[in-house]
Amino acid sequence: MAEETDVEVAIASFEELMELEKEFEDVEVEIIRQQVALSKPLYEKRAKLIPKIDNFWALVFEQAPPDLDQYIQPTDSEVLLSSLKSLSVSHFEIEDGGKGDPRSVSIKLEFADNEWFEDKVLEKKFWYRLSKDGDAGLVSEPVPIKWKSPEKDLTQGISDLVLKVWENNKKQGPSDSTKIKKEKDYTPDEKALKEKIEKTGLGGFSFFCWFSYRGLNVSEEESKVAWEKEQKERAARAAGEIPDLKEVDEEEEEDDEEEDPYALEVFPDGEEVALAFSDDLWPNAIKYFTQAQELDGSDVDFEDEDEDEEMGDADEKPKANGAQPPSKKRKA
């Protein structure tokens, strides 16, 4: 009997820790909500000043943080540096007094006329959702890109194929994160997509494949039910109730592990890139622009330095004028 009591105590303690973790998360979400409200007039002021500065966003992108820069291929860089006119990030679910999740973001890139695609604006939205299994993250939809010709398609047909697969999946009804399609059940388009992914390999995708990112297969309906369930469980824990232990179906668990939920994802790190935009490049744009100006205007003459100092500089490889990247913000 004592052993059973010890188990109950352990379960209760674990549940208390989980609830405390949720409370910390609540605070972080509220901080984001307040920060968005307080910084809104500053971003509006910045937006009025930027058009007066030539190539502002091009210079910012030249100093892009590693979380973003590592995905920009030379051809992508040519497009961004020559045609990008504006970048903006919005927390669309809480705009105009909305009560949605402040972690949902929209990232909009505006372009001048260019030789690659017809779109003047490419906007990608990310919804913060919770699956019935408790996994949370950013969910998106593929954004169509109107390439001027197959030869100008930097994704080599992948963006169009992802869009085609996604549209076919929508016809089958709301998605379910627990239902992972097995490879033997793939449609011809899904098989073609998987083949392209395997042929291209990691590191070979254009940055513009990021617009095809989907993320967790969680529908709005599933997320709503999952959030409601979580709130009920939290209320039960607050009332001192100990949840029943759930038995795990090992056979089902092993079967799920055989299928990769990201098997058809062309940009697995899409969420990280979205956060690099919203949590780093967007809020730190002025710092990155200043850093680019300092590096571009550096006239440091190392010939006047002592030989020992030159050797030390060569070993340490400092940035010109001692400029360092802006400190990264913790991702919420």
The model's pTM: 0.82
- CATH code for the part of the protein at 2-149+213-244+267-298+308-322: 3.30.1120.90
DSSP codes, 271-323: HHHHHHIIIIITTTHHHHHHHHHHHHT----GGGS-HHHHHHHHHH-PPGGG-
Measured over the CA atoms of residue 211, residue 213, residue 218 and residue 224, the dihedral's sign is negative
The residues near 112 (Cβ < 8 Å, ≥ 6 apart) are 83, 84, 85
Terminal alpha carbon distance of the chain: 43
Q: Where are the domains of the chain?
A: 2-149+213-244+267-298+308-322
Tell me which residue of 161, 139, 100 sits closest to 274, measured CA to CA: 139
Task: Please report, in tens digits, the pLDDT of each residue of the chain (332 residues total).
Answer: 445 566 666 666 777 788 888 899 999 999 999 999 999 999 999 999 999 998 999 999 999 999 999 999 999 999 999 999 999 999 999 998 888 999 999 999 999 999 999 999 999 999 999 999 999 999 999 999 999 999 999 999 999 999 999 999 888 876 677 678 888 889 999 999 999 999 887 678 999 999 999 998 899 999 999 999 999 988 887 777 766 655 545 444 445 456 787 889 999 999 999 999 999 999 999 999 999 988 876 543 433 444 444 444 444 433 333 334 443 333 33
